[in-house]
């Protein structure tokens, strides 16, 4: 799917970069590389070339859906409830909670350096973030290589919040199940997949308030349905979505 082309290219580039650097560590190519002619020299990718290009390939989807850029968001501060950080108050309001977890990514360390693993996992995580934001999601927190997000708000109908959550997670799951899988299969890497949990909490079931203190804080929800989103991803099948 061309929508995620930038993300796939970025992963391919950092993998290629490690391969080139590994070849460069050989003092001699006498064993097995007697005919090596330096072809890989031009394949080395500079840090500038592997820099991430955030929404380029996803722009057609963003324009179709009509959502705002990720640049307008701040982690852990849903705009409709961030005033609670100043007032230390609380408010009941519905929300759809989504937990996206990437499985088996730790296996990458068996094949790649920490620098390459960082770039690969960050790229996958960014794809999840951007997809959620395009469909109207708000990123609450990052947990390892996972993403926890809210869908909905004071100006969003409840039905739309659930539809948006399902659309975002379906697009991202397709990316992992198909496009990403092909890249890793070509590298002989153990299958990496996603598991997702979604749950809707109604107005009388979700309490918004601040957690923490000072700069070590976030606006979050206190609700069984918030907790169930992360619990349900734990029972999802590979590349599956469990909805409460």
- Kindly state whether residue 98 falls inside one of the protein's structural domains: yes
- CATH number for the domain spanning 119: value is 3.30.70.1230
Rounded CA-CA distance 82/99 in Å is 21
The number of folded domains in the chain is 1
Residues 116-128 have a mean pLDDT of 90
The reported pLDDT for the residue numbered 143 is 86
Judge residue 182's burial from the number of C-beta atoms within 10 Å of its C-beta, 0-12 exposed, 13-18 middle, 19 or more buried. Answer: exposed
pLDDT tens-digit profile of 129-168?
989 988 999 999 998 889 999 999 999 999 999 999 999 9
- Kindly state whether residue 48 falls inside one of the protein's structural domains: no
- Kindly state whether residue 129 falls inside one of the protein's structural domains: yes
- Kindly state whether residue 228 falls inside one of the protein's structural domains: yes
- Kindly state whether residue 20 falls inside one of the protein's structural domains: no
Name the band, by pLDDT with cuts 50, 70 and 90, for residue 36.
Answer: very low
- Kindly state whether residue 51 falls inside one of the protein's structural domains: no
CA angle 159-162-168, nearest 5°?
Answer: 135
Smallest CA-to-CA distance from 142 within 130, 125, 127 is with 125
Question: Is pLDDT above 70 for 45?
Answer: no
Q: What percent of the chain has pLDDT over 70?
A: 81
The reported pLDDT for the residue numbered 55 is 53
Q: Measuring CA to CA, how many Å separate 45 from each of 15, 20, 28, 40, 111?
A: 10, 9, 22, 10, 19
User: Which range marks the domain in which residue 141 is found?
Assistant: 69-243
């Amino acid at each position: 799917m061309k929508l995620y082309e930038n993300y796939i290219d970025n992963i391919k580039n950092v993998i290629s970069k490690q391969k080139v650097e590994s070849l460069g560590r050989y003092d001699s190519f006498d064993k097995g590389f007697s005919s090596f002619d330096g072809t890989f020299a031009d394949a080395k990718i500079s840090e500038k070339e592997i820099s991430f290009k955030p929404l380029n390939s996803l722009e057609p989807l963003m324009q179709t859906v009509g959502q705002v850029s990720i640049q307008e968001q701040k982690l852990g501060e849903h705009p409709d409830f961030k005033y609670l950080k100043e007032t230390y108050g609380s408010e009941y309001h519905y929300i759809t909670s989504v937990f996206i977890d990437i499985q088996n990514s730790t296996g990458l360390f068996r094949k790649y350096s920490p620098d390459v693993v960082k770039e690969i996992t960050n790229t996958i995580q960014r794809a999840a973030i951007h997809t959620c934001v395009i469909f109207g999601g708000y990123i609450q927190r990052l947990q390892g290589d996972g993403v926890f997000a809210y869908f909905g708000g004071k100006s969003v109908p409840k039905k739309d919040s659930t539809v948006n959550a399902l659309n975002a997670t379906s697009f991202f799951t397709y990316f992992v199940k198909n496009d990403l899988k092909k890249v890793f299969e070509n590298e002989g890497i153990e299958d990496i997949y996603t598991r997702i949990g979604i749950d809707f909490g109604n107005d009388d079931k979700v309490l918004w308030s601040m957690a923490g203190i000072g700069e070590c804080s976030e606006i979050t929800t206190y609700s069984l349905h918030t907790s169930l989103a992360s619990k349900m991803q734990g029972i999802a099948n590979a590349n599956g979505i469990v909805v409460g």
